[in-house]
Amino acid sequence: MTRVGLLTVGSRGDVEPFVALALALRRQGADVRLATHERFRGLAESYGVPFAALPGDPAAMMATEAGRRAIASGRNVARFLGAFRQLTAELAADSWDAALAALADREVLVFSTFAFQGHYLAQHLGIRGIAAHLQPLLPTAAFASPALPWPLPGRLLNRWSHHAAIAMFWRQARPGAVALAQHVPEMVVPRRAPFAEHLATHLALVAVSPRVVPRPPDWPPAVHLTGYWRLPLPPGFAPPADVAAFLADGPPPIYIGFGSLSQPDPAGLRELVEAALAQLGRRGIVHRGWSGIGGPSSSPQIHVLEDDIPHAWLFPRVAAVVHHGGAGTTAAALSAGVPSVVVPHFGDQWFWAERVRQLGAGVQIARRGLTASALSRASAQALAQRFPTALAKQLAADDGAAVAARLVLGG
């Protein structure tokens, strides 16, 4: 029985796919342990996945000044990376001891993009390390780096953008690696990103469907586009009675939620959302999330979700999804067969917004200067589109986590 460690940091969208991978690995006979933030213990344990806690609370981090700067960075990559540097420098070093204690007995380590300390942890333990990405971040001429908020003209610039993005990422992440090296005497921190060469020869997993992003022909054979790693509903899941009653009491509502992103004016955003729904004449489900846009609503046409609820259950029951363009939320909306209104804030969210538009699965709207009228118009446009239902059926039938598990165990 292969002992596999999974290491990830970030929001729920960064953790859920690794829980799905853990389930797939266990079905294929592996002994699995997931290491991530304490706030996700309940999520892992609800699926019976062995869990080890890492320090740090991502919700608290996103509410800091650095977190708010990252969210407000928009298309300013330098501003986003500057905030990212502050967020990650301490986290990598602080989590080393906990990750080492949790995963020291593992034979294989699968680590996420932002858990870059996993690269060094695998080396330190003398075990196989496998990078796992929720975005297609590896260099290609087929499209520009998802880390950049705009497309580029031409294959040469596309490939350059990936190398530039990796270099910028490492420039900001390297101070965290330097801090980490104080805990690991044998660790050498290079000037260039250590995983750049690693990508060409070592197994790397990209948890994205080739139906959404076709596999670039110039990727090395070791890079596998597995399909999405989707969680099934928790064992014995039953929806909250108030949510089920609201859904049954009228036509499918529009879902509005921005996940882990805190907002500078949550009360103002909630008023904007309510006004947009009123102009559109539609019911709405507003997810409070980490953005804090919930709170009591005076309208019986709006239901506020205070807690998380599986997108796999909720999204097929709504008319459209207004979201920030996170990789996981985008995948859930596509798989559910409902149109998206994407309001990208920073990072790869612009990439997913553009993919949704190209697939004919929704529209994009600018966050800066967002108004109730603009949100209402964008929602009406998305609802009027002919959604590619064949795509949703194909995505629902895929099992990317099982594909990834076979690669992890087959080596």
Reading the block at residue 232, the tokens are 């099934």
Q: What is the pLDDT of residues 144-167, one digit of tens each?
A: 999 887 788 889 999 998 888 888
Q: What is the mean pLDDT of residues 176-198?
A: 70
In 3D space, the residue among 262, 234, 240 whose CA is nearest the CA of residue 11 turns out to be 262
More confidently predicted of 95 and 156 = 156
Q: What percent of the chain clears pLDDT 70, i.e. is strictly above it?
A: 85
How many angstroms separate the CA atoms of 240 and 248, rounded?
A: 12
Measured distance between the N- and C-terminal CA atoms of the chain, rounded to whole angstroms? 14
Give the CATH number of domain 241-396; options: 3.40.50.1980, 3.30.830.10, 1.10.1840.10, 3.40.50.2000. Answer: 3.40.50.2000
Residues of the chain with CATH 3.40.50.2000: 3-232+398-410, 241-396
> What per-residue confidence (pLDDT) applies to 197?
57
Whole-number percent of the chain with pLDDT over 90: 59
Asked if residues 146 and 136 have their Cβ atoms less than 8 Å apart, the reply is yes
Rounded Cα gap, residues 239 and 196, in angstroms? 44
Find out whether 282 and 319 touch, Cβ atoms under 8 Å: yes
Distance of CA 9 to CAs 6, 12, 67, 379, Å? 10, 9, 15, 32
pLDDT of 68 reads 55
The architecture (CATH level 2) of 3-232+398-410 comes to 3-Layer(aba) Sandwich (3.40)
Residue 54 has pLDDT above 70, yes or no: yes
Asked if residue 251 lies in contact with residue 232, where contact means CB atoms within 8 angstroms, the answer is no
pLDDT band at 168 (very low <50, low <70, confident <90, very high): confident
Please say if the pLDDT value at position 195 is more than 70.
no
Q: Give tens-digit pLDDT for 251-287.
A: 999 999 987 655 667 777 888 889 999 999 999 999 8
pLDDT of residue 55: 87
The answer on pLDDT for 69 being more than 60 is no
Q: Match 């706030």 to its residue by tokens.
A: 39
Q: pLDDT category, 100, cuts 50, 70, 90?
A: very high
Reported pTM:
0.91
In whole angstroms, what is the distance from residue 18 CA to residue 36 CA? 10
Write down the pLDDT at residue 179: 74
Q: Which two tokens stand for residue 310?
A: 């599986």
Backbone angles phi, psi at 404, to 5 degrees: -65, -40
* Whether the predicted pLDDT of 328 surpasses 70: yes
What 115-118 contacts at long range (C-beta under 8 Å, 24+ apart), as own/partner pairs, is: 115/7, 115/8, 115/9, 116/92, 116/173, 116/176, 116/177, 116/195, 117/7, 117/92, 117/176, 117/177, 117/180, 118/7
Residue type, 324: H
Say how far apart CA 396 and CA 43 lie, in whole Å: 22
pLDDT grade for 180, boundaries at 50, 70 and 90: confident
Give Cα 186 distance to the centre of its chain.
Answer: 32
Positive/negative CA dihedral, 136, 140, 141, 145: positive
Range name among 105-114, 156-165, 315-324 with the lowest pLDDT average? 156-165
Per-residue pLDDT at 134: 95
The answer, yes or no, to whether residue 36 has pLDDT greater than 80, is yes
Residue 78: pLDDT band by 50, 70, 90 thresholds? low
317 secondary structure, DSSP code? G
Q: Quick one: pLDDT at residue 96?
A: 84
